[in-house]
Amino acid sequence: MTTPLLVQALAALSVPALAGATALGLRGRRERAGAAAGAQRLRARIAELEDRCDELERTASCDPLTGVWNYRHLQLTLDREIERARRAEHTEQAEGPRPLAVLMLAITGFDAVVAEHGRGRAGAVLRDLAQRLAMEIRRADTLGRYGGEEFLVVLPDTGAEGAAQVAERLVWSVRRHLLLDWSSGPRESRPAAGNGLTAAAGIAVLPEDGTHAAVLLRAADAALTAARAAGGDCWRLSTRPSEESDRPGGDRPEQATCPPGHGAEGEGDRSEKAGSLSACVGGDLLSQPVVTHTPATVAGPRDALS
């Protein structure tokens, strides 16, 4: 076969090969583009599912009425903080567990709000008040609804004096908080006697009042009962049985305000800690520095709480 004929034969045979190679290349590019698009869709779906899981987790831990943490989250947080406080006894070579305070707060006076405005608006008042209380604690603290009009605050690295300062501030906030107003006219000034709501608080501290969640909660509830028996609008520290036996008549200390020089050594200045809402309400919507009061001025009037 002559050279020209050989060249023509090879050219004729190479056309199908080139066409096939081109088709394979296009197909490969389409497959790679489809795989990249599929991977992108998969990543978007994973991100969407993660967002939904986070939302479900927040919903499962959030009280739907008040927007603060619910009872389940409080139990998990208290167990975790107790374990952390007890573990510090061994890891930090301390003489005992790190301090941890539990504060139980009960609000009274909502029956009048329900009678005047109905349960729907009373629920809005309770939510507004709960968010106000959440601003009065540190970011490291946890406030949640314990049930009804009762709230529980877990205060890590806080002793009795620091917890007493928080209790005084929360009781004052309940008494002086400016309630929601649905009237269309000018807003009435705050009554001199307060808003009609009062709070009683009971405090228990680890390890003095116990080293388990159930024991601490019982001690805080007993202190809350003592505060209610004293007429409310005050707080009480848990009294251990040994102290009750040494006290004539077993009376609990009549302690309605913070003692002077509050704030135990090592707890830091709690009064300057900016508060925040729990994560279940979508971040720190009301996060801002809180104007706080020392025990000497806590009972003084103030026109409104922001």
Q: Tens digit of pLDDT for each residue in 10-36?
A: 667 676 777 777 878 888 888 888 888
**Residue 286: its pLDDT value, please?**
30
**Residue 301: its pLDDT value, please?**
31
Residue written as token pair 């070579």: 93
Both tokens assigned to 131: 């968010």
25 compared with 1, residue with greater pLDDT: 25
Query: Looking at the predicted structure, is the pLDDT value of residue 143 above 90?
Result: yes
Residues 157, 291 contacting (CB under 8 angstroms): no
The number of residues making up the chain comes to: 306
Query: Looking at the predicted structure, is the pLDDT value of residue 192 above 60?
Result: no
pTM over 0.75: no
Residues 144, 68 contacting (CB under 8 angstroms): yes
Q: Determine the average pLDDT of the residues in 69-90.
A: 90
Confidence class for position 204, pLDDT limits 50, 70, 90 = very high
Q: For the segment 230-246, what is each residue's pLDDT rounded down to a tens digit?
A: 999 999 999 865 444 34
Mean predicted lDDT score pLDDT of the chain: 76
Query: Looking at the predicted structure, is the pLDDT value of residue 54 above 60?
Result: yes
Which of 297, 286, 300 lies closest to 136 in space, CA to CA?
Answer: 286
Strand, helix or coil for residue 214: helix
Give the integer Cα–Cα distance in Å for 273 and 163.
Answer: 14
